[in-house]
Amino acid sequence: MSVRRDTAVRVRVSIPTPLRDEAGGAAVLDVDAETVRDALEALAAEHPSLSRHLFDEHGALREHVNTFVNEHEARALEGLDTRLKEGDEVAIVPSIAGGSAVAGGTSGTPAAGGAPGQDGEAASAATDRPADGAAALTPEELARYSRHLALPELGREGQLRLRRARVLLIGAGGLGSPAALYLAAAGIGTLGVVDFDRVDHTNLHRQVLYGDGDVGRPKIEAALERLRGVNPNVALIAHETRLTSANALDLIRDYDLVVDGSDNFPTRYLVNDACVLLGKPYVYGAILRFEGQLSVFAHPDGPCYRCLFRQPPPPGLVPSCAEGGVLGVLPGIIGSLQALEAIKLIAGIGETAVGRLVIFDALALRWREMRLRRNPDCPACGAAPTIRELIDYEEFCGVTTTGEAKQDEGGVPEISPTELKTMLDEGQDVTLLDVREPFEHQIANLDRHGVLAIPTNDVQRRMDEIERERDIVVFCRSGARSEKVARMLRDAGYPRVRNLAGGLLAWSDEVDPTVRKY
């Protein structure tokens, strides 16, 4: 970088929580720069591990990363060439998802028996009761919603709008739990829920729809049981299926708006594109570690998700919640805000998040708001859209239906769990390199087979502990982090490195079910 010292100014760069580990834990950093590009390059020079998150191999800013200057989108100014003034603040905003490609049951290949049926209805869909189409509220409803009726901005007409509304919730997990509870309590007439996952112990610290007694049950079954208890007046529709390109349009078409509680990039882009094609508002929420994002996309008056993040991050670059962690209360905050935005959109009250990206930093208890605009070159909602039908979103995001990064030609060789078991049973000499975090090692491990445990971020520093001429099998929870480490080792001259396909999750499924999944 060549910044003229006589023209550079001191600016502050805001680091999002998912990238703070790469910046030495800092929330903000001061750099000398003339332009936004200078600021990012100065930041990357000071913290080299940030570079791969910000720039691609050609030095261009990654398309899943956006930048703002004093809360205005840099792209709406002069992009990375936007000149900075003394004291300006540059905010880095990456896309976040929170899960793997299929976690939460919202993307991938339809589950058995869950393919869409006739007339756009999922084969597994079940309706509790039809929504009440009467024009007047019943005495029971007048009492139940009396605090709503006391609000002049909402009142009886607003409550009737809620009762007539049909809302589709994608995913009944961390975000979906509070959103579903508050939408049902508010009196949404028809609430559809898409999910095919089962309740796991690891869900319970944040997915407040469920308790210990629900572990092992289908989420859709447990969720609807809880929601019936919250408000029996709501018509609940169960869509026990993955959301896919084959069924998304049929599922979404019959609803007024979509609340996205999914946790992965393929579903995010699928929901966005389907909502744009159908003209349905899309209430967006995302969480990771201590940071949450909220907006409303695909609204006639605003941009879509692709306007903000045209391309997904490379597979494995953004950690899932299982890898990066998430504060349990955070999805409660963001999911509740999603319910709020849905209620405001339906009732026609207040100022919604259309054209705004709201970012919440739980550690600092700080809210920030970034102004968004529709990108005229957006392939989904721009002046000349090129997306006219749904595509293969796993392929688009570079993942398989199991959530793993696809292997490039000439990429890191993989070994299956059963193949590794055979090697171990035959007594072959192999180093098992566990690159997970210490807390994960305590939950589940392969220690009885002999393991060298070095967390991903420490591998480069501790490479001398890994014998170069041995067979090495690298593993993590799901195979994404270990693939990156295996590639690093091969690039460093380790010739006999393989990645355990599917990680410990696959090992538990295919070899040893006593290894706890988390």
Residue with tokens 């090697």: 423
Q: Is 275 a catalytic residue?
A: no
Round to whole Å and give the CA distance between 72 and 227: 40
Round to whole Å and give the CA distance between 217 and 214: 5
**Residue range 118-377 in CATH 3.40.50.720:** yes
3-state secondary structure 201-246: HHHCCCCCCCCHHHCCCEHHHHHHHHHHHHCCCCEEEEECCCCCCC
Output the six-digit token pair for 265.
């990039």
The model carries a pTM of 0.75
Cβ(371)–Cβ(72) below 8 Å: yes
81-84 LR contacts (CB < 8 Å, sep 24+): 81/35, 81/36, 81/37, 82/35, 82/36, 83/34, 83/35, 84/9, 84/11, 84/33, 84/34, 84/35, 84/36, 84/38, 84/39
Q: Is 307 a catalytic residue?
A: no
Determine which one of 275, 304, 397, 476 is catalytic: 476
Determine which one of 321, 378, 381, 397 is catalytic: 321
What does the pLDDT profile of the chain (518 residues) look like in tens digits?
Answer: 444 456 889 999 999 878 888 888 898 999 999 999 999 999 999 999 899 899 988 888 998 999 999 988 887 778 899 999 999 999 999 988 765 444 344 444 333 333 333 333 333 344 444 444 457 899 999 999 999 999 999 999 999 999 999 999 999 999 999 999 999 999 999 999 999 999 999 899 999 999 999 999 999 999 999 999 999 999 999 999 999 999 999 999 999 999 999 989 999 999 999 999 999 999 999 998 899 999 999 999 899 999 999 998 887 677 666 667 889 999 999 999 999 999 999 999 999 999 999 999 999 999 999 999 999 999 999 999 999 999 999 999 886 544 444 444 446 899 999 999 999 999 999 999 999 999 899 999 999 889 999 999 899 999 999 998 899 999 999 998 899 899 999 999 999 999 999 999 999 999 999 999 88
**Helices 155-164/330-347 angle, 10° precision:** 110
Residue ranges of the chain that CATH labels 3.10.20.30 = 9-94
Output the six-digit token pair for 261.
């509680």
Residue ranges of the chain that CATH labels 3.40.50.720 = 118-377
Distances (CA, A) of 361 to 135, 265, 287, 334, 473: 43, 21, 10, 11, 37
CATH level 3 topology of 414-510:
Oxidized Rhodanese; domain 1 (3.40.250)
* DSSP line for 249-286: HHHHHTSSEEEE---SHHHHHHHHHHHHHHT--EEEEE
Residue ranges of the chain that CATH labels 3.40.250.10 = 414-510
* DSSP line for 353-366: SBTEEEEEETTTTE
Q: Which CATH architecture has domain 9-94?
A: Roll (3.10)
Round to whole Å and give the CA distance between 37 and 59: 11
